[in-house]
Structure 1
Amino acid sequence: MTPDEWYHLSDAGHGVTRLTEPYVDPYYSANLYFVRGRDRDLLVDAGMGILPLKPVLPLTQGKPVLALATHVHVDHVGALHEFADRAGLAAETELYETMPDEATYAEEYREREAPVTRLPMPGWKITDYRLQPAPLTLPLQEGDRVDLGDRSFAVLELPGHSPCIALFDEANGVLFAGDAIYDDLLLDDMPCSDKVAYRATMRRLIEEVDAKVVFGGHGEPFDGARMREIARNYLENGSGV
């Protein structure tokens, strides 16, 4: 199978190309987002890295691209090492240098009964799957900005699911939320999770983030009203749905 066959690209509107890995176990099949900028392009999250990602992106020769991971989980960092410019949460800098199983949950993926629904290549074995280190060249924290020249994103720290960052384009109301919020059951029971912090994140999303469209780490995009509804549901019943 070629990378073009492995990844699915679609126009998500708002100047965003959405990429998915349809042959990955649905639990681990995350959304990746590519945004063209005037001065540089942006990739939000990097999937599983089972097949090369960079060849399928609509890159412009000579223009730099920043690959940003919203958090260090396996389904968001697999192909991060393919890019020269790599951003992520400053507090997780050491983890990107080694990609340890206990932080990325790669070992749990290797134990899945059906990690893929189609083999990416003849002879591929899940037991051989490993993440490659991808040291950050741009550690980010709350208050930083990611500037593409004609679009600028505020970096928001939205912990709870895990230590997570999100990107918010205030001018256009576009939020790349990673796994901080998406339209499904929100996971808050992992060793890296913090339910108290997650509740604070939900209150912040309701009160402070005027998103028009939310591109989450999983599932379909949704609008700001649905974001606030998911956040309120989490505060009321602890699930988000």
Structure 2
Amino acid sequence: MAGWFETRPISPGVTLITEPFVHPIFRANLYRIEGRDFDIQLDFGMGIRSLSADLDFGDKPVMAIASHAHIDHVGSFHEFARRAGHHAEERDFATLGDNFTDWFKSLDGAVSRQPYEGWELQDYRLAPAPLTQFLEDGDVVDLGDRRFTVLHLPGHSPGCIALLDEANGEFFSADAIYDDELYDQLEDSSIADYLATMRRLLELDISIGHGGHGPSFDEARMREIALDYIRTREG
């Protein structure tokens, strides 16, 4: 069945990918970032249908980067040979066992359309995707014509990372910050780490931010979200 993924360009060389028929809680934003020497695929959805098989971005080499190991960001991660993420979640990537799969299966309307004939929700599971490369805070991913600095921004999960193009201020924040309900009550979340991340983000200069959920945002909105979180958690 065609059309499981929805795509649209959001800036030069950047395509937003979503799964519109997945429950909103698990409907993440995925990004294809084109480069001269290779592309980045940032995050991988639920893995209900194959990201690499369903979407054609050509034959350029791909660096697959997982912002963190939660179910809605790693479903098709195993489909790529070059898999990068933060060492804090190395074990999670290697196993990808019951990472919120029971929660997803329990939802009324987990999917609003059958992804393919014969698909059964109760058979859904993640495929392990061991990391082949670690990305740490301050590392640089150089595409030849664009350079991204890796930011380690824990709180939502221990190994949350984001990518910043310092040349133009384009910020791919994943689940470190986004313009929607933030989750800090998960089994691997840390409010203390999240507060530190929000304070760090208050000092960050960006032109546009693309989160792991919700719409894109500018610097003023990012600071508003961060300050609201700090007030809520410290108040």
Alignment of 1:72-87 (within 5 A): 72-87=69-84
The reply to whether residue 107 of structure 1 matches residue 105 of structure 2 is no
Alpha-carbon separation, structure 2, partners of 1:88 and 1:107: 24
Moved more, 139-148 or 26-35: 139-148
Q: 2:166 aligns with which of 154, 164, 170?
A: 170
Alpha-carbon separation, structure 2, partners of 1:188 and 1:94: 20
SS in structure 2 of the partner of residue 22 of structure 1 = coil
| Counterpart amino acid of residue 199 in structure 2 | R
| Deviation for aligned residue 1:55 | 2.9
The reply to whether residue 179 of structure 1 matches residue 175 of structure 2 is yes
Alpha-carbon separation, structure 2, partners of 1:58 and 1:176: 22
Q: 1:34 aligns with which of 32, 35, 46?
A: 32
| Counterpart amino acid of residue 69 in structure 1 | A
| Deviation for aligned residue 1:237 | 1.7
| Deviation for aligned residue 1:145 | 1.4
| Deviation for aligned residue 1:58 | 4.2
Alignment of 1:224-235 (within 5 A): 224-235=219-230
Alignment of 1:43-82 (within 5 A): 43-61=41-59, 63-82=60-79
State, as a whole percentage, how many aligned pairs show the same letter.
Answer: 52
SS in structure 1 of the partner of residue 49 of structure 2 = coil
| Deviation for aligned residue 1:107 | 2.1
| Deviation for aligned residue 1:172 | 1.1
Alpha-carbon separation, structure 2, partners of 1:95 and 1:235: 28
Alpha-carbon separation, structure 2, partners of 1:153 and 1:112: 36
Alpha-carbon separation, structure 2, partners of 1:14 and 1:226: 22
SS in structure 2 of the partner of residue 230 of structure 1 = helix
- What residue number does 1:120 align with? 115
4+ residue runs over 6 A deviation: none
User: Could you list the runs of 5+ residues in structure 1 that have no partner in the other structure?
Assistant: none
| Counterpart amino acid of residue 215 in structure 2 | E
SS in structure 2 of the partner of residue 6 of structure 1 = coil
| Counterpart amino acid of residue 180 in structure 1 | A
SS in structure 2 of the partner of residue 220 of structure 1 = coil
The reply to whether residue 149 of structure 1 matches residue 149 of structure 2 is no
Alignment of 1:79-98 (within 5 A): 79-98=76-95
Alpha-carbon separation, structure 2, partners of 1:67 and 1:180: 18
Report if aligned partners of 2:13, 2:35 keep a CA contact under 8 Å in 1.
no
SS in structure 2 of the partner of residue 37 of structure 1 = coil
The reply to whether residue 212 of structure 1 matches residue 207 of structure 2 is yes
- What residue number does 1:10 align with? 8
